[in-house]
Structure 1
Amino acid sequence: MLGGMRLEALLPLIEGAGSALLRIQAYADWITANPASPQRIAAWFNLGAEWSAFGDKAKAASAYQQALLADPTFHPAAVNLGLALEALGQQDAALACWTRALQPDGARTALLNHRGRLLEEQGRLADAEKALVQSLLLDPAQPDVIQHWLHIRQKTCSWPVVPEGLPGLPAAALRAACGPLGGLALVDDPDEQRRIAQDWLIRKVPPAPERLSPPGGYRHDRIRLGYLSSDFCRHAMSFLIAEMLELHDRSSFEVFGYCSSPEDGSDIRDRVIRALDHHVPVRQLDDTAVARRIREDEIDILVDLNGLTRGARLHTLRWKPAPVQVTYLGYIGSVPLPELDYLLCDDYVIPPGLRPQYMPAPLSLPGIYQANDGRSPELPVATRAAEGLPEDKFVFCCFCSTYKITPEIFDAWMEILRSVPDSVLWLVCENETARANLAARAGAAGITAERLIFARRVEPSLYLARMALGDLFLDTSPYNAGTVASDALRMGLPLVTLSKQPFASRMAGSLLNAIGLPETVTDTVEEYVRLAVSIACSPELLATFRSRIGGDRWQHTLGDVRGFVAGLEDIFRRVRIRPDALG
């Protein structure tokens, strides 16, 4: 019956089939009945797409392979075959598929982009960068590719991050497309950071068709407070907010957690979930369904904990599912969505005079912006010998991610090492390419390789314990340490920071002012270098700074979670919308 039928004649029948299995069977029957048809290539491809949608990636891969056997130049099948193999856990096979695929220049970008993405996920950053450069040379008008490529260059300390001379891509165009996260470490102007984020949002997150929440709010005896996050797991976010969630005043607040986090089985995930009155798993829901669930729960204030980071539910926010929507802590800068009402901050990280440069409207907490966990952790014993550190030298350290390290800051570090000959610099380094690039730049500055010591990644408890092995933390700028700075101060490790204009460049300064060590906040690179050298050369000054942040000082300042929560709740009471408050 199907023999001789053209594929386009079959399509209306397939589209009308009630189930995926019926559509799959229809394609399979047509292929059997038309073994010599030139349209079998499209039929195999469509069959692969149906199997993939059905969830059987192995059968999908087999169908795509048949399409390629019929026509090795049919590049869409190569793209989808690689994706199916990747889903089956066969990453090397996926890369091989994309490498050997035959395709015209105009189609090669898709294969190169998938290669770059998967190589980046595997940690093969140098290879990933090469694939993305090849893609941009074929088609420079790819802002998503530019964003990933530049961030790889940041992570590998390939400087300058924004190179000159790429055909069709002047430095200004590259910089504008660096993406929101990359922009925090690349740009030191709040206006430019906002524009970068705004352009990205316009391109990626269209408006929702309607607003879900009533503008006049709800009549609830207790404020329904919703936290939206993909980081209720072993993530820095959860370590900061766990006690905050536990200490919310349940006589005034009812706490919901809309959770799209992975089930990682960690103790911190269990603690966060137990701290919620209502744990609402939404990982399997699309953004619209999440928004409608929030509306059904009549949330008074929705707190977005992702901002512009991975896992964000930005489309959910665009539905305006809560009358008041606040972004907090996940992304340290403007999140210029019209549906967001406030950006939580403090008066140091966003001084009143700089507030017009931010979106949404900055809303200052009465103390510091950063939540913390005041519980005293159980820590293992850490020793310099175990971490490969010299016992008899001054240890400068920085535990920020490598993408936050800029040439300006690294050169300042090299000047500090030259001025303090009996010292080393202890860094976290996630990849070999960054390690080699940093060592080469240090060598060019006259600093020998043994004076750079690269820390290994460790469990959270050991990460905290070994902080105490350093002598002085050297902060990054324009993207400061945040959680890491608080951890350093908790462990009695003094910190020198460089504050510029953006929120991200003022995080550590906020913490240092709060704990009572404003003298280590600097405004220029020259002052930063001079202060670090002075501390290293003056045991008395170092001891004074250590004593001022030692003992129970952290607990009574940065670790005063009850005081922090009280101030946060006062802010929430102030911005909550109630029908009776509208007159």
Structure 2
Amino acid sequence: MAPLDLAAGTPLEALLPSLEGAPPALAIPAYRAWLAANAASPLAFAAWFNLGVQCAAAGDRAGAIEAYRQALARKPDLHQAAVNLGLALEASGEAEAALAAWQGALQPDEARLLLLNHSGRLLEGQKRYAEAEQALRASLLTDPRQPDVVQHWSHIRQKSCLWPLHAPGIPGVAARDLVLQSGPLGILALTDDVALQREVTAAWIARKVPPAPARLAPEGGYRHDRIRVGYLSSDFCRHAMGTLIVELLERHDRGRFEVFGYCSTREDGSALRQRIIAALDHHVPIGTLSEEAAARRIRADEIDILVDLNGLTQGARLGALRWKPAPVQATYLGYVGPVPLPELDWLICDAQVVPPDQAMHYAPRPLPLAGLYQANDSRAPALPALTRREEGLPEDAFVLCCFNNFYKITEDVFGAWLEILHRLPHAVLWLAEDNATGEETLRRHAAARGIAPDRLIVAPRAEPARYLARLGLADLFLDTFPYNAGTVASDALRMGLPLVTLSGRSFASRMAGALLQAVGLPDCIATTLDGYMATAVAHGSDPARHARARAVLAGGEAWRRSIGDSAGFTARMEAALEAIRLRP
């Protein structure tokens, strides 16, 4: 999710002899000289503030912090100094001091929003969701006409499992407008109505990503002997995307394809990142480039097909895509919903996740692969040997698990899980740690429905190998709806863990169903919530039925010949890329 668009203060040049446009190297000594000669001046607060701005621009955070504090000492209601002081403290790693600066600031009404929004943003980043939700709600009660704040407030409530999601509402904002301002990630977990998802994402793009002034790539394409395919991502690292995409990059037929990786990824030092970089013919770091500069670099490489792996997720380079640096541009895997960016030509999918009766609602145009949509890594990971006792699980219980993020858990789905626990008194529910606010909320909902505390178990975060091994300890994976598990569902099936899902209309609500179809477990796919509960209860109460599902997955052969068939997937992906390539 993109961060809130919050501006820092600007120099108060109108109050002092102008140094506008002067570089910090000249402005800083000029302000210090002025302060030395005019220490008692009633305008000293402005000079200190401007000195702080210049120090911040020069990278001198300590100098900026001291200057802003001096400005506030002389004018406590200088809210611009409080804003900038907090930003400088935050950048220096002093989060609590930053919050104190913002929360303790004296400010007029028009400045209150900026201070609340900065506090909410920082608290959200620290997963202090209860406090963040309160700060952003206070901001919206002051001025409800802030779609970015609505987006973050709504998503914080999703992550906190605060239901009903938009209750008690925001005065001045209609319920439908709260939904329309949910944001790209939040809307996937809110509804399986594709047309509504597209309306929300189109509004977000219109607000956030203006059109570029020019198209860079030739409309007719290029004449290259090999197809130059560029993959654009901020997740070439130890990330779910990196895990899924790495073997495709390795397996591309170099006789027909030349592979470029346009990388905005932060270095994490992982073995997976090194493997991804090694799989690229050309690793092109663009993290420090502007959107235009990144687009011009892609254009200079004469990329035939640019495959965006972010979509509308954090780290996306949508501004670069708007320059149309490649004649054909597709989006794949990072965002499993409509991405109505006019410069995108294709949404790579399959006929299961985007059925024909829903295709007209998507933008860009769906490009169904001949088989399963999901790339994967067929390499067998080395896993630790774990026991239920080590993981805090009862030995004799039927372990229901869901390792999805909390924001995917809806009121209806959690209610279904609690009903399943009532019908299976020997079962426990095993979740992955996400955030303290959400965990507290879920435990409160469970207690209200009469579920004993020890039947809800939360596993602490773990390294990838331990996470995979844990899946092998559970009996049944309970999926979320309308935003299914994707990578996690694939991992569960790989580890021999049957999965029950609820399939709807949207890509996000059909991912796990496509995976179950691929491995040969279609009877684990429900189309109603009642059917979902009945299927889960049948697995927990009928050992023979559950054993049959286990047998389908046993040994991993079903996974390897379907989801894990990386050679077959690469061939299908390459056929699709060849079909959409343009030649002059």
TM-score between the two structures when normalised by the length of structure 1: 0.96
Residues 485-496 of structure 1 correspond to what in structure 2 (within 5 A)?
A: 485-496=489-500
Q: Which residues of structure 2 form unaligned runs of 5+?
A: 1-12
5 Å-filtered alignment, 1:188-199, equals 188-199=192-203
Q: CA deviation at 1:514?
A: 0.9
Asked if 1:342 is matched to 2:346, the reply is yes
Aligned partner of 2:84 in structure 1 is 80
Write out per-residue CA displacement over residues 108-131 of structure 1, whole angstroms, 9 at most, x where no aligned residue: 111111111111111211111111
Q: Counterpart of 2:480?
A: 476
Q: For each residue in 1:216-255, what CA deviation from the matched residue of structure 2 results, as whole angstroms up to 9, or x when unmatched?
A: 1111111111111111111110011111110011111111
2:16 touches 2:43 (CA, 8 Å); kept in 1? no
Partner of 1:132: 136
Mapped contact 1:467–1:493 kept (Cα < 8 A): yes
Residue in structure 2 matched with residue 104 of structure 1 by the alignment? 108
Q: Counterpart of 1:578?
A: 583
How far apart in 1 are the matches of 2:548 and 2:218? 55
* Distance in 1 between residues matched to 2:40 and 2:145, nearest whole Å: 40
Q: Matches of 2:537 and 2:335 in 1, distance apart?
A: 32
For 2:503, the equivalent position in structure 1 comes to 499
CA drift at 1:429: 3.1
Listed one character per residue, the Cα deviations across residues 181-207 of structure 1 (whole Å, up to 9, x for unaligned) are 000001220000110101111011100
Q: Which moved more, 1:113-122 or 1:457-466?
A: 113-122
Question: For the Cα contact (< 8 Å) 1:373–1:559, is it kept in 2?
Answer: yes
- Is the Cα–Cα contact under 8 Å of residues 7 and 43 in structure 1 kept in the other structure? no
Rounded to whole Å, the distance in 2 between the matches of 1:88 and 1:103 is: 24
- For residues 223 and 44 of structure 1, the distance between their equivalents in structure 2, rounded to whole angstroms, comes to 58
Amino acid at match of 1:168: G
Alignment map for 1:5-404 (pairs within 5 Å): 10-11=17-18, 14-15=19-20, 17=22, 19-404=23-408
Q: Secondary structure at the match of 1:504?
A: coil
Cα-to-partner distance string for 1:407-458 (whole Å, 9 max, x where unaligned) = 1001111111111111111111312221221112112222111111111110
Whole-Å separation in 1 of the counterparts to 2:150 and 2:258: 43
The answer for unaligned runs of 5 or more in structure 1 is 1-5
Deviation at 1:9, TM superposition (A): 7.3
> Offset at 1:288?
1.3
Which deviates further from its counterpart, 42-51 or 409-418?
42-51
Letter in 2 for 1:48: G
Q: Deviations over 1:520-539 (max 9, x none)?
A: 11100011011111111111
Aligned residues between the structures = 571
> For the residues of structure 1 that align with 2:460 and 2:241, how far apart are their CA atoms?
21
Distance (Å, rounded) in 1 between the aligned partners of 2:553 and 2:200: 37
Q: 1:421 and 2:428 equivalent?
A: no
Q: Distance in 1 between matches of 2:112 and 2:311?
A: 33
- Quickly say closer, same or farther: Cα 1:278–1:154, change in 2 above 3 A: same
> Would the aligned equivalents of 2:16 and 2:46 in 1 still touch at CA under 8 Å?
no
Output one character per residue of 1:240-285: Cα deviation in whole Å (capped at 9) or x when no partner.
Answer: 1111110011111111111111111111111111111111111111
2: CA distance, partners of 1:508 / 1:418: 25
Decide which moves more: 104-113 or 59-68: 59-68
Write the letter of the residue equivalent to 2:568. Answer: G
Deviation at residue 341 of structure 1 after TM alignment: 0.5
**Cα contact 1:7–1:39 (8 A) shared by 2:** no
Residue range with higher mean Cα deviation, 411-420 or 49-58: 49-58
8 Å CA contact 2:15, 2:46 repeated in 1: no
**Residues 290-322 of structure 1: CA distance to partner in whole angstroms, max 9, x if unpaired?**
111111111111111111111111101111111
CA distance in 1, matches of 2:43, 2:283: 51
Contact 1:349 1:503 in 2 (8 A): yes
Q: Which residue of 2 aligns with 1:3?
A: none
**Identical amino acids, percent of aligned pairs:** 60
> RMSD across aligned C-alpha pairs, in angstroms?
1.3
Q: Give the Cα separation in 2 of the matches to 1:243 and 1:261.
A: 18
* 1:16/1:180 CA distance change after superposition, 3 Å: closer
State TM-score, norm by structure 2: 0.96
In 1, the alpha carbon distance for the partners of 2:292 and 2:72 equals 37
Q: Distance in 2 between matches of 1:249 and 1:73?
A: 64
Q: 1:550: Cα distance to partner? A: 2.0
Instruction: Look up the equivalent residue of 1:228 and give its one-letter code.
Output: L
Alignment of 1:513 onto 2:517 = yes
SS state of the match for residue 505, structure 1?
Answer: coil
User: 3-state DSSP class of the match of 2:366?
Assistant: strand
For the residue of structure 2 that corresponds to 1:239, the secondary structure is helix
Shift of 1:8: 6.5
The aligned runs of 1:546-561 (5 Å cut-off) are 546-551=550-555, 552-561=557-566
CA distance in 2, matches of 1:550, 1:286: 49
Distance 1:40 1:266, change over 3 A: same
Native 8 Å contact 1:106 1:138 kept in 2: no
Pick from 409, 412, 424: which aligns with 2:413? 409
Task: Give the letter aligned to residue 136 of structure 2.
Answer: L
- Contact 2:406 2:438 survives alignment (8 Å): yes
Moved more, 545-554 or 383-392: 545-554
Q: Is the 8 A contact 2:15 2:43 kept in 1?
A: no
Partner Cα distance (2:506, 2:21) in 1: 55
Deviation at residue 29 of structure 1 after TM alignment = 2.8
Change in Cα spacing, 1:16 to 1:492, as seen in structure 2 (3 Å) is: closer
Partners of 2:151 and 2:259 in 1: CA distance: 36
How far apart are residue 144 of structure 1 and its match? Answer: 1.0
Q: What code does the residue aligned with 1:182 have? A: G
